[in-house]
Chain A
Amino acid sequence: MKTEMTIQDRSSKNSATKGPDPILSVRHLKKYFPVRSGWFTQEEKFVHAADDVSFDIRRGEVLGLVGESGCGKTTLGRLLMRLLEPTSGQVLFEGRDIIQMGRRQLRVLRQKIQIIFQDPYASLNPRMTVGDILEEPFIVHHLEAGSERRSKIQQLLATVGLSGDAISRYPHEFSGGQRQRIGIARALATHPEFIVADEPVSSLDVSIQAQIINLLEDLQEEYHLSMLFISHDLNIVRHISDRVAVMYLGRIVEIADSRELFTRPMHPYTQALLSAIPIPDPKSKRPRILLEGDLPSPVEIPAHCRFYSRCPKRIPDCLKIDPPLYEVGNDHQAACILVK
């Protein structure tokens, strides 16, 4: 265990020194949720939602985060916002650890980091008008007041492609795509530098998804935003991301430049995941790697490689180590002893 930690330390330091200026650095982040296993048992068990996660997000880049449901994507996104308290670890935003921040510091910080939620139906208060919803960040953060505030709100609506009369209407009057635009406008109100977008298009129809993705890309460029883009839709992640991290059972198992990851996946899980994407082209003849079984329970995490039970390439040595992220190429890391 000790030797593994040092290997991991080294590899995370490597990634920290690489590339230009990270806006956000995550180090050994852990989040364990306690679960009660039975009424009479004393033994405490934990869901390992984030289990020693380290990575950087560089200024101005979009980092895609993919993985199957229950792998810890959403938990990780919320930990970065400190909407959840981690069990241990660091989240450094522009070099300062947000986990150690007090309430006042955190409030200032939250102007700079914002989140866009998955479900535009559940994340807007149905009893507030769009104007009220968009004014809230200004009130909370004591930003522009009076007529200046009103014109700012009008600007925000225009930025996300909604008409000005939206201001006095209620969320239920809008379609899913329009609601997501409202959610994006709210996130932009405080001029953030970093945005967590948690499955921002997965509840939208196909023809609307493209509109929202285009909007996010335009805004990202215009405001020079850094973004963590969480999604289970690999095609969309591939389209929007500069780099992509693949998560499995609370751990990042591969991280690389987007094109590199999709054309040269190294981890057997990534390979299987990519091969499983249905391609909208009947002529595409691509070999598919079918994984056996289901995602194992995040409670009983094995001490060895966590993908072992489903891995088509497993060897006996995989049972001896919980592999850290190894450098496997230019700016490309994978947690598999076979590609070390």
Chain B
Amino acid sequence: MTSVIQQSITPASNIRSDLILQVSGLKTSFFTSEGIVNAVSGIDFDVKRGKVLGLVGESGCGKTVTALSIMRLVPDPPGRVVSGKVTDLLTLTEKQMQSIRGRRISMIFQEPTTSLNPVFTAGNQIMEMLQHHLGMDKRKALERSIELLAQVGIPSPEQRVHEYPHQLSGGMRQRVMIAMAISCHPDLVIADEPTTALDVTIQAQILNLLKRLREELGMAMILISHDLGVIAEVADEVAIMYAGRIVEHTSKEELFENPLHPYTQGLLASLPRFDQTGEAHKRRERLKAISGTVPRLSDLPSGCTFHPRCPIAVEVCQKEEPELLEVSPNHKVRCWLRQ
């Protein structure tokens, strides 16, 4: 246990300060037979030590591609990081990158069922990490795996460590994924929709676990989710993505209290709302939908990509794309009308 922690507090020189990760101008494209699809078109954000950044958006907005770009796991071909910087990860050799993945930055995927290897036991998969990255011997790795399973709340871990993924329930598989992700005590965990495939009571368990581990281990996290409820619970800062761009970025409190981008406002307004007593519950009160549909990335509208769906769009929105600008301290918005 102590050795693991000691190793992680002698960080690589580049991640010394409070900033764990700096993404700037990241652009990732897919070169398909139907043309170039800019899945991520120039995004910037920082991840601070011990903080949780929520990345929110609808399907196809580039959340997952952002995560894969950071990990340098974008399938190539057809995809490629075209430009931008992710600290200095993009300049590392593949070999160097392998010692980052799982060790300094690890990932929790949406589907625990498909992201665990079905022919290895839960223990094998955690042990592999420990043996590869931390050079533990087999006996020690097994011991540590059992500790990790206990830490993520799996009952009778001595027994579960020898079980295969199909013998575990969905919630337990996700716990195994989390155990793997924290096994080398990384500086940053990227959790891509970690609870989307789970039932609501199990989701509550996993969210609690993530919050607890974050406090215990002080790791930073990028939490990718489409669920604003999950974000409200776990994140410190939130970046809202639309069509491959960040359209709003601020603290969680500010975002929910004072959303500025019309898309963020639309997302929040489209949720059914009830006050604590339930008295506001009026049936037949229509939800405020955002009109239209999410644009195809291969065929984006001109100007601001949100303008065809925007209730307050003006002429300039059709012609020129606004930049992500800081309109008040720590509150950035990409909208002509908020500048």
Give A contacts to B, CB under 8 Å.
68-69, 175, 177-178, 205-211, 213-214, 217, 221, 232, 234-236, 238-240, 242, 258-259, 262-263, 272-273, 275-284, 286, 288, 290-291, 293-295
Contacts and interface: CB of A to CB of B under 8 A. Distances in A.
Contacts of B200: 68, 232, 234, 273, 276-277
19 contacts: A69-B199, A207-B289, A210-B271, A217-B284, A232-B200, A238-B272, A239-B283, A258-B281, A263-B277, A275-B204, A276-B201, A278-B203, A279-B229, A280-B231, A280-B256, A283-B253, A288-B208, A291-B205, A293-B155
B315 to A, nearest CB: 24
Interface in B205-223: 205, 207-208
A235 B58 contact: no
A278 B230 contact: yes
Nearest to B290: A207
B131 interface: no
A11 B281 CA distance: 29
Contacts of A211: 289-291
In the complex, which range does the number of interface residues on chain B fall in? 35 or more
Contacts of A279: 229, 232-233
Contacts of A217: 284, 286
Contacts of B205: 290-291
B284 A175 contact: no
B207 A278 contact: yes
Contact of A207 (B272, B274, B283, B294): B294
A259 B278 contact: yes
Contacts of B137: none
A258 B291 CA distance: 28
B289 A214 contact: yes
Contacts of B171: 294
Contacts of A284: 232, 276
Interface string B239-281: 0000000000000110010000000001110111010111001
B289 A236 contact: no
Contacts of A277: 200, 229
A232 B253 contact: no
Contacts, number: 126
A238 B281 contact: yes
A206 B229 contact: no
B99 interface: no
Nearest to A68: B199
B134 interface: no
Contacts of A281: 232, 256
B236 to A, nearest CB: 10
Interface of B: 58-59, 155, 169-172, 199-205, 207-208, 226-233, 252-253, 256, 266-268, 270-272, 274, 276-278, 281, 283-284, 286-291, 293-294
Given A205-B294, A258-B281, A258-B283, A280 B199 contact: no
A281 B200 CA distance: 17
B58 A207 contact: yes
B163 to A, nearest CB: 14
Nearest to A291: B201
B226 A205 contact: yes
A208 B289 CA distance: 7
Nearest to A285: B276
Contacts of B199: 68-69, 232, 295
Contact of B253 (A69, A238, A282, A293): A282
A205 B59 contact: yes
Contact of A280 (B232, B276, B290): B232
A221 B281 contact: no
Nearest to B277: A263
Closest 7 CB pairs of A and B: A278-B229, A239-B272, A210-B289, A276-B204, A263-B278, A68-B199, A210-B270
Contact of A206 (B252, B271, B277, B281): B271
Contacts of A263: 277-278
Nearest to B171: A294
Contacts of A214: 286-287, 289
A235 B169 CA distance: 25
Nearest to B294: A205
Contacts of B253: 282-283
A199 B145 CA distance: 39
A138 B291 CA distance: 31
Contacts of B226: 205-206
A295 B286 CA distance: 34
